[in-house]
Amino acid sequence: MPKVLFLPFQIEEKVASEETIIDVAMRLGIHINASCGGIGTCNKCKVMVESGEVRGEKIEDLYFKACTLKPITDVVVRVPVESQYDRRALLRKTRAQALERREEVVINPPISKHFIELVPPTIEDNTPDLERLFSHLGNRGFSNVTLPYTTLRNLPHRLREKDFTVTLTLFRDGPVNRITITDIEPGDNRDKILGVAVDLGTTTLQLELIDLTKGELLAKTSDYNPQISFGEDVISRIEFARKKEGLKILAERVRERLFILIEELLKEAQREINEVSIVSLAGNTVMTHLFLGLEPKFLREYPYVPVAKYYPTIYARELNMPLGENVPFILSPSVASYVGGDITAGVLASLMTKEPEITLFIDLGTNGEIVVGNQDFLMCAACSAGPAFEGGGIKHGMRATSGAIESVSIDPITLEPMILTIGKKKAKGICGSGIISLLASLFRTGLIDRVGKYRRDIKHPRLRRGEEGFEYVLVFKEDSATGQDIVFTENDIENLIRAKGAMFAGYQILLESVGLTLQDLERVFLAGTFGSFIDLEDAITIGLLPDLPRDRFYFLGNTSLQGAKKVLLSQEKREELNRIAQMMTHLELSNHPQYMDYYMAALFLPHTQEDLFPSINKEN
């Protein structure tokens, strides 16, 4: 791995194989002007190679485009800077450290296969098939067993195919303490038992295929939630569900897509559809309602009542999913209308309920769900943050897909931006992590004040009065993919400040409700893919995350999926999940008498109360 030494900053760093020099610079917080997102067309990111061997595109004889530049040997690169003050921009990007939560889980899935050899009937003992089976099971200690009608219909043939030796698939439906025979196969088929774990996200569906004999991951995949065509966020989907057939359409689309993804997984793992024996899903309350075809409208109507907290197990046939008729779909329990199964599953996966450390669990998805607790207590709330951090309600906001600006810095002297896009494509818009960094950069460079208004006294070609008031031009149209300027308006800033204010007020109220303060937090867990991309410093700078020692922040990845998977592997984990849902006290923020005060106080950058953000205020 070659190294690069950046001059005049005297900062040395290793270069990963897929990185260009501009990527490394962005990581280190070294500003290099860049307007095209790293695609190589704006010709602004010029750097001088003082020594070493490189590949890359030259510009103006002496320079290379940093966005094309890759070192072959160790290199020394000089970045042209306007003044020594540019060093002020040096702010190494810090991501939360990844934390893989591992625990020893004894493989004991809620569904299991059992090979049994019945004594074939004779004229002396022509006990009916069903009672022959039940009696055998009773002798092996299985009582309270039921057989669905569809399985009963198959029973006589299945028994006789291999001389009364069969493999039973037994599903122990924990919450109702009952064993259901979900399938009967001739002969010994014990080694073929698969489970599918699903994170049922508003935007994305993520799936894993698990071999339940060993708990081994066989394949994983993901795709957009096809309901997106009917509404980007949960609210617009609830609205769509009010239309005639709306709910039916939403339910069908996501089930169909799930089935296609399951087929993909099976193809990759070279396994058969009839080996899929169980599906475990975790999703927010709205997604779970829509998947099940349960009326969602009361979730958003006062007083926000879900249809259920613990969802009964639903079988493939009831969902019209072309898996085995009795394949159970188990759903992670919800706590409230806006604290759903993704959060309970997430808390399960986080292991925070097994440890003494007081932990704040934050899922910054379409909404912001937060949980505070440890092994002794759990308290949760939903912050009505809205979708701003996923690009919603932001003029040029977009989801984190190809062409989205994901990294931003602004030179404090020139006020010129450096942007990088996902996939190094021409910029289409800005996604969540870019939005946070942009807001933080605008604040750091003094382009905006503490209430989020552009400084009217600064004259700069990128700062102008647009149709919707003052705005900063991040990308001029000649460099954008849309042929339009990509701007960041005061409206956008206001929306973001409201969103982060809602989150921050949420932390405060939630902690206060259990007699704690932010300083008592020993750990902050960031869940969801978003948590891995946001820059910690930037997020703290704008007051989205609390100003705590950076080593208390951990990124846990897709805890919803991890939780859904744990439940597949262990009946005990399923019970633990249900206990978590039971234990989790929900605080209705909108109803809290102090909430408005805390929220109003958070509508500043980083916050009205300066002592809450000592590291930020010291800096500015």
Binding site for a copy of itself (CB under 8 A): 121-124, 126-131, 144, 146-150, 152-153, 155-157, 160, 176, 178, 292-295, 298, 302-310, 312, 314, 318, 334, 336-337, 588, 590-591
Task: Give least dist CB 329 to a copy of itself, A.
Answer: 10
Q: Please, which residue, 263 or 318, has the CB nearer to a copy of itself? A: 318
Collapsing DSSP to helix, strand or coil, 431 comes out as coil
Q: Which two tokens stand for residue 199?
A: 């994170």
Q: Which CB sits closer to a copy of itself, 336 or 511? A: 336
Per the CB < 8 A criterion, the answer to whether 197 and 207 are in contact is yes
Strands (DSSP E) contained in 52-164 are 54-55, 58-59, 63-65, 70-71, 75-78, 97-98, 111-117, 145-146
Q: Considering the complex, what minimum distance in angstroms separates the CB of residue 366 from a copy of itself?
A: 21
236: Cβ contacts below 8 Å, ≥ 6 apart: 230
Task: Name the residue nearer to a copy of itself (CB basis): 92 or 243.
Answer: 243
Give the C-alpha separation, 455 to 463, whole Å.
9
CB of 605 to a copy of itself, least distance (A): 32
Q: Shortest distance, CB of residue 344 to a copy of itself, whole angstroms?
A: 13
Cβ proximity to a copy of itself, 305 vs 600, nearer residue: 305
Distance set, CA 293 to CA 251, 296, 302, 343 (Å): 5, 8, 21, 21
Q: Which is nearer to a copy of itself, 28 or 502 (CB)?
A: 502
CB atoms within 10 A of CB 584: 21
Residue with Cβ nearer a copy of itself (5 or 249)? 249
Considering the complex, state which of residue 314 and residue 422 has its C-beta at the smaller distance from a copy of itself.
314
Shortest distance, position 182 Cβ to a copy of itself, whole Å: 14
Considering the complex, what minimum distance in angstroms separates the CB of residue 312 from a copy of itself? Answer: 6
SS (H, E, C) 369-394: EEEEECCCCEEEEEECCCCHHHCCCC
3-state SS class at 439: helix
Sheet holding 469-475, edge to edge: 463-466, 469-475, 486-489
Alpha-carbon span 417 to 442, nearest angstrom: 10
Cβ atoms 401, 429 nearer than 8 A: no
- Residues 6+ away with beta carbon under 8 Å from 458: 415, 446, 447
* Least gap, CB of 197 to a copy of itself (angstroms): 22
Q: Which is nearer to a copy of itself, 219 or 336 (CB)?
A: 336
